[in-house]
């Protein structure tokens, strides 16, 4: 087994090197390096086949989401505000849902835009669904647990796209 806890560039290099030397381990990559366009394509799609990771967002390049309302909003946003950007990049998707989460926090603040209230609202999100999180994944925070990402889906790359493995996993940390 090989676990790569790396940045995208180093993950692509590791995937290439593993293929080059003919090693066939169970290769697990960190979520930060799971972008098809930024990591797996540069590493070689055939070289990337079988790699395992986790995800929590929809893949813009996956035809599964072509009719999805949230994906349509994201693509319209990219067309309007960042037309030269890579629509398939997980980094752009992450930026979009992070901004969407900030908008939710500010809406909950109402007219009281103090630091204290922003922090209070950020620490009291309840089952917030975002345009590009996988179905069944939502954001909940509390004053004792600020973590936004507590739910993930195990995935395996089939040479073209990520395939879901099993059910969504939720970290039920005790407060």
The domain limits of the chain are 1-55+149-175, 57-148
Residues 6+ positions from 18 with CB-CB distance below 8 Å? 2, 25, 27, 47
Residues 6+ positions from 136 with CB-CB distance below 8 Å? 151, 168
Q: What CATH number does the domain located at 1-55+149-175 have?
A: 3.40.50.2300
What six digits make up the tokens of 88?
């398939």
Q: What integer pLDDT is reported at residue 175 of this predicted model?
A: 55
pTM: 0.85
Q: Count CB atoms within 10 A of the CB of residue 93.
A: 24
Mean pLDDT estimate for the chain? 94
Summarize pLDDT for 9-48 with one digit per residue, the tens. Answer: 999 999 999 999 999 999 999 998 998 988 999 999 999 9
How do the pLDDT tens digits run along the chain, 175 residues long? 999 999 999 999 999 999 999 999 999 999 989 989 889 999 999 999 999 999 999 999 899 999 999 999 999 999 999 999 999 888 899 999 999 999 999 999 999 999 999 999 999 999 999 999 999 999 999 999 999 999 999 999 999 999 999 999 998 776 5
């Amino acid at each position: 087994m090989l676990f790569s806890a790396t940045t995208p560039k180093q993950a692509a290099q590791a995937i290439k090197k593993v293929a080059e030397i003919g090693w066939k381990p169970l290769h697990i990559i960190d979520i930060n390096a799971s972008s098809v366009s930024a990591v797996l394509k540069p590493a070689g799609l055939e070289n990337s086949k079988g790699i395992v990771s986790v995800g929590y967002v929809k893949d813009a390049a996956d035809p599964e989401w072509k009719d999805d309302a949230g994906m349509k909003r994201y693509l319209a946003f990219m067309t309007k505000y960042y037309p030269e950007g890579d629509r398939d990049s997980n980094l752009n998707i992450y930026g979009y849902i992070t901004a969407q989460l900030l908008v939710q926090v500010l809406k909950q603040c109402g007219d009281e835009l103090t630091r204290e209230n922003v922090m209070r609202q950020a620490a009291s999100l309840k089952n917030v669904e975002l345009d590009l999180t996988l179905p069944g994944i939502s954001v909940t925070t509390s004053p004792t647990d600020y973590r936004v990402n507590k739910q993930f889906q195990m995935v395996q790359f089939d040479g073209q796209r990520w395939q879901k493995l099993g059910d969504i996993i939720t970290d039920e940390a005790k407060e």
